Amino acid sequence: MVIVTGSAGFIGSCLVSKLNNKGIKDIVLVDDFSDGIKNRNIRNKSYLEKVDRKMFFDWLKQNHSDVEFIFHIGARTDTTEFNMAIFDELNLNYTKTMWNACSEYGIPLIYASSAATYGDGKLGYDDNHELIPRLQPLNPYGISKNEFDKWALKQDKQPPFWFGLKFFNVFGPNEYHKGRMASVVFHAFNQAEKGNGEIAKWRNSEIAKKNTDGHANGTVRLFRSHNPEYPDGGQLRDFIYVKDVIDVIWFLMNHKQNSGIYNLGTGKARTFVDLVNAVFSAINRPPSIEFIDTPADIRDRYQYFTEAKMKKLRSIGYSKPFYSLETAVEEYVQGYLVDSTYF
């Protein structure tokens, strides 16, 4: 059997679908299953059982001999949360316990790191292990991810093979529950659709409580640039479709060598204006964009450019092309958001 933590969340639930599509159904789902909206992500999926994340290590102690692989995707991902103790518990220490258990029981491990570890990008976006101790993340979330990466690289006792994946800006189906932490694509669609006189079909009373941003006139709001090197909306991100993410995870699961920490982006940064234009194109509306000031409390921690160096992943044999931004946005909007469907 295989384990997926964060299995009711965004990337985790998409991974469960990928495994199901590959014929793998002996899956144990691990998460906090108290959020009814999030639990919709695992409807109609095949799995053996659900285990609460607080009970997981007791469960693993009793069942480790049957476990073939662990995907540790679960984490606290709120970049606006500044209570470091929360991240120490849910990201750093929980993942250390996971690593030690996999090392002791001989279970391969893939875990989620983050591009937030790169901070303001002054040191670049190269996934060379020698760079990791020098990185200076801008928020507690990024710090927690980098602290674990640093810790993992110092360990003599390791899982039989392992991969830490620095996710860049991931978007795609199954993020209805994420509220303000959902992708810019999701929020842009939510705002743009209001110009059609109705909100998308997914907008029921429960979900609406988590997704209330935007104007009623169908205009998408983006942060104004406070850096003279970038025009408004010209801030750059490496946006990656979640289906590319799970394809890479599937590849690494079967690759079984070259353990280490890897970037997971497309390797091509695009502007927020590019992204929003793609959303409007997907709903056949002309773009309407308004720029607002970046909130003062996050302005000094705002990233103006991220772009994954992908040479390392390519060098170990991953050759599949990534979705273009326009193709991915069109599929996400037309195939999922318009009809409120799940992957």
Query: Which residue among 178, 194, 243, 312 is the active-site one?
Result: 178
Residue 158 lies in a domain: yes
Residue 211 — very low, low, confident or very high, per pLDDT cuts 50/70/90? Answer: very low
CATH number of the domain that residue 50 is part of: 3.40.50.720
* Sole residue written with tokens 């079967």: 254
Range with the lowest mean pLDDT among 149-158, 288-297, 316-325?
288-297
pLDDT computed for residue 21 by the predictor? 98
Same-domain check for residues 209 and 275: yes
Mean pLDDT of 230-251: 97
Return the sign of the alpha-carbon dihedral for residues 318, 320, 321, 322: negative
- CA gyration radius for the chain? 20
Give the pTM. Answer: 0.92
pLDDT computed for residue 78 by the predictor? 63
Reference 2, options 69, 55, 51; nearest CA is 69
Range with the lowest mean pLDDT among 213-217, 236-240, 286-290?
213-217
Q: What is the percent of the chain with per-residue pLDDT over 90, rounded to a whole number?
A: 82
pLDDT computed for residue 217 by the predictor? 72
Encoded tokens for 325: 């931004």
Give me the amino acid identity at 215: H
Say whether 141 is catalytic.
yes
Task: Look up the domain containing 284 and give its range.
Answer: 176-236+269-304+327-337
Same-domain check for residues 198 and 260: no
Tell me phi and psi for residue 171, to 5 degrees: -140, 160
pLDDT computed for residue 79 by the predictor? 60
Number of domains the chain is built from:
2
pLDDT computed for residue 37 by the predictor? 92
Query: Which residue among 111, 141, 262, 336 is the active-site one?
Result: 141
* Sole residue written with tokens 């220490």: 93
Same-domain check for residues 199 and 77: no
Residue 281 lies in a domain: yes
Q: Kindly tell me if the per-residue pLDDT of 237 is higher than 90.
A: yes
Q: What is the pLDDT of residues 272-282, one digit of tens each?
A: 999 999 999 99
Same-domain check for residues 104 and 220: no
Same-domain check for residues 203 and 131: no
Q: Kindly tell me if the per-residue pLDDT of 213 is higher than 90.
A: no
Residue 133 — very low, low, confident or very high, per pLDDT cuts 50/70/90? Answer: very high
Q: What is the pLDDT of residues 69-112, one digit of tens each?
A: 999 998 876 666 666 777 767 788 999 999 999 999 999 999 99
Q: What is the pLDDT of residues 198-208, one digit of tens each?
A: 444 444 444 44
User: Is 82 in contact with 140 (CB distance < 8 Å)?
Assistant: yes
pLDDT computed for residue 205 by the predictor? 41
Give, in order, the Cα–Cα distances in Å from 322 to each of 96, 182, 242, 327, 328: 31, 21, 10, 10, 9
Residue 343 lies in a domain: no
pLDDT computed for residue 295 by the predictor? 87
Same-domain check for residues 245 and 192: no
Same-domain check for residues 156 and 89: yes
Residue 209 lies in a domain: yes
Same-domain check for residues 38 and 62: yes
Say whether 38 is catalytic.
no
More confident residue, 321 or 193: 321
